[in-house]
Amino acid sequence: MSEMNKARVRRVTLLGGESSGKTTLARALADTLHTAWVPEYGRQRWEELRETLSVDELVAVARRQIEWEDEASRRIASDAQGSDVMWLVCDTSPLTTLQYCLHDHGQAPPELLQMARRHYDAVVVCEADFDFVQDGCRRDDGFRVAQQAWTLARLAEMNVGCLRVNGPVPHRVEQVLQHLGNLVNPEIVGNLENPGNLGDRK
């Protein structure tokens, strides 16, 4: 823990419904901040099993997501200078895993409820302001809308502030960078590339 505190690794998580641009934004942010990003383990596990994940599987997914984040934080800390503020970009959090558990099973064990309250230094919610994209792993647009509303409601219940980003990817990146800059000294956020060079991706 002392190693991570010395390097000042902070976590920013990207939340939102399915097909809201989280993964694309995670990659773009990581590229811009010259840092790592942690993919969504729950998606990987579903692709392996191709079936609704059980309660036990979902608890294991949340545990693994946290493990991946902690491992990535340690790697960033080991490479960082002591005075740097480094960000780790997290594509979703255990809060999303909790939503799937409650939606699919109507209940969630205490361990998952606790993991869903994991602290992040910045929370970003991606608006679903473009057409739903079905990639074979997602449900439908109705579920996306419900998932988005659920996420915002739970954050409000937990008194967790969030930044809601919209528009094309470069604009979303700019919004997040400004938000992160407001959380730390702008001079030590990092040497940032021009977000306009990222292209209009979703």
Cβ atoms 42, 97 nearer than 8 A? yes
Whether 86 is in a domain gets the answer: yes
* pLDDT tens string 13-36: 999 987 777 999 999 999 999 999
Domain range for 62 is 2-182
Identify the CA nearest to 116 among candidates 19, 184, 36, 42. Answer: 42
Instruction: Decide if 173 is inside a domain.
Output: yes
| CATH for 133 | 3.40.50.300
pLDDT tens track for 117-155: 999 999 999 998 776 667 666 676 788 889 899 999 999
Q: Is residue 187 part of a domain?
A: no
In a domain, 63, yes or no: yes
199, part of any domain: no
In a domain, 188, yes or no: no
In this prediction the pTM is 0.82
DSSP assignment letter at 125 = E
Whole-number Cα distances in Å, 102 to 58, 97, 113, 129: 10, 9, 10, 25
The structural domain count of the chain equals: 1
Residue 71, in any domain of the structure: yes
